[in-house]
Chains A and B, each alone.
Chain A
C-alpha cells in the first residue's frame, strides 16, 4: 500500500461508500496537481510525492472533519433502512390502516379493562397506546416543513416519555435504567437524524428526517 493509499484509508474511515468515493476522487486530483507542481519546480519524483502528501496534513484530522460534513456508513444505513420502512408501510393500504388501528385497539382495550376492573392492565395498555401513537401516526401526517417537523418531534418525545412514565407508575425512578435502555435505540436514531439534518440540504431530506 503506498503512502497516499494509506492516507486515504485513514481519512475515509467510517464514511459511507459514496462519501469514500467522493473523498478519494477529490484528494487524488489534489495530490496529482500538487505533485505535478512540485515536479515543474524541479523536485525529484520522491520529493514531489513527499511534499504533496505532507501538504495534505494529518489524515485523522481530515477524517474527523469529513465525518462532520459527509455521510458516515451508519448514517447512510439509517437513511436507506428508514426509507425502506416508510415505503413498506405506505405502499400497502391494508398495512397502513392496520398499523393505524394498533394504538386505537390498545386504547379501546384499555378502556374496556378499566371498566372491567383491571385498572393496572388498563394503565399499561393506555401507556402503550400513548407511546405507540406518534410512531405509527408519523407516516401519515402531512409533515413536510422544518417547523412542523420540530413541533412533531417535541410532541413525540413528550408523549412517549409520558407513556413510559405512566406504564411504570410511581416506580418510574426505580426502573429508570430500563426506561433509558428502552429509549436508547430511539435516542441513537434521533441523534443520527440530527446529524443528517445538518449534513443534507433540505431539498435532499426524505420524510423520515422531518419526524
Chain B
C-alpha cells in the first residue's frame, strides 16, 4: 500500500516506546500494520537521516548480539511532533470516514 508521506510519523511511533535500530523499526511497522504497509526497506534510512537532521530523533552506537548497531531514539521535539501528527491523523481519518462511511 502506498503510504508516502506518513513514513516519518510511523518511524516516530515505532521509536516512541524505546530506542531501536533500522531493521527492527522496519519489521515493527510491517508487523503492526499486519503486512499492509509493506515498504522498500532501502527508503527507511533516508527518512531516518531526515528526522535526525530535523532534530526529531537522535542516534547512538549500540551492540546487539555482539554486533555494533546504530540505534535511534525519539527526542522531545520528536514526541511533540508525534502528538501533533496523531491528532491531525485522527481528525483526517474521522473526516474521511464521515464521507466514505465505516468500512
Instruction: Return the CB mask of B19-51 against A: 1 if under 8 Å, else 0.
Output: 001110011000000000001111101110110
Contact A58 B40 (CB under 8 A): yes
Does A56 lie at the interface of the complex (its beta carbon under 8 Å from any beta carbon of B)?
yes
Known: A29-B23, A199-B53. Is A61-B70 also a contact (CB below 8 A)? no
Instruction: Return the CB mask of A30-65 against B: 1 if under 8 Å, else 0.
Output: 101110010000000000000000011111011001
Does A26 lie at the interface of the complex (its beta carbon under 8 Å from any beta carbon of B)?
yes
Main secondary structure of the interface of B (DSSP, over half): helix
Main secondary structure of the interface of A (DSSP, over half): helix
Known: A32-B67, A33-B23, A34-B23. Is A27-B42 also a contact (CB below 8 A)? yes
Contact B42 A56 (CB under 8 A): yes
Residue of A nearest to B65 (CB): A36
Contact A56 B40 (CB under 8 A): yes
Contact A34 B41 (CB under 8 A): yes
Cα-based distance from A201 to B49 in the complex (angstroms) = 11
Residue of A nearest to B22 (CB): A30
Taking residues whose C-beta sits less than 8 angstroms from the other chain, chain A's interface range is: 20 to 34
Taking residues whose C-beta sits less than 8 angstroms from the other chain, chain B's interface range is: 20 to 34
Cα-based distance from A70 to B49 in the complex (angstroms) = 7
Cα-based distance from A61 to B4 in the complex (angstroms) = 13
Does A23 lie at the interface of the complex (its beta carbon under 8 Å from any beta carbon of B)?
yes
A residues in contact with B69, CB < 8 Å: 29
Min distance, Cβ B52 to any Cβ of chain A, angstroms: 9
Contact A57 B49 (CB under 8 A): no
Cα-based distance from A200 to B53 in the complex (angstroms) = 6
Cα-based distance from A201 to B50 in the complex (angstroms) = 10
Known: A34-B23, A69-B53, A201-B55. Is A26-B45 also a contact (CB below 8 A)? yes
- A-B contacts, 19 of them at CB < 8 A, read A7-B42, A29-B21, A29-B23, A29-B68, A30-B41, A33-B21, A56-B40, A56-B42, A61-B43, A62-B45, A62-B46, A65-B43, A65-B46, A66-B49, A68-B46, A68-B50, A69-B49, A69-B50, A70-B46
